[in-house]
Amino acid sequence: MEDFWVFGYGSLMWRPDFPFEERQLARAFGYHRALCIRSWVHRGTQDKPGLVLGLDRGGSCRGVAFRVAPAHREAVLDYLRERELVTNVYMERIVPTLLADRRRVQAVTFVADRSHEQYARKIDAEEAAIIAASAVGQSGPNDVYVRNTVQHLREIGIRDGWLEQVVRRMEEIKLPA
pLDDT tens per residue, range 63-101: 999 999 999 999 999 999 999 988 899 999 999 999 999
CB 120 within 8 A of CB 38: yes
Whether the per-residue pLDDT at 105 is higher than 50: the answer is yes
CB 51 within 8 A of CB 144: no
* Alpha-carbon distances, residue 32 vs 53, 70, 96, 131, 134 (angstroms): 10, 28, 13, 21, 25
Whether the per-residue pLDDT at 177 is higher than 70: the answer is no
When computed from its CA atoms, the radius of gyration of the chain, rounded to whole angstroms, is 16
Query: In the chain, what are the domains?
Result: 4-172 (3.10.490.10)
Work out the percent of the chain whose per-residue pLDDT is above 70. 97
- Per-residue pLDDT tens digits for 12-61: 998 999 999 999 999 999 999 999 999 998 899 999 999 999 999 999 99
* Cα 96 to Cα 30: distance, rounded to the nearest angstrom: 8
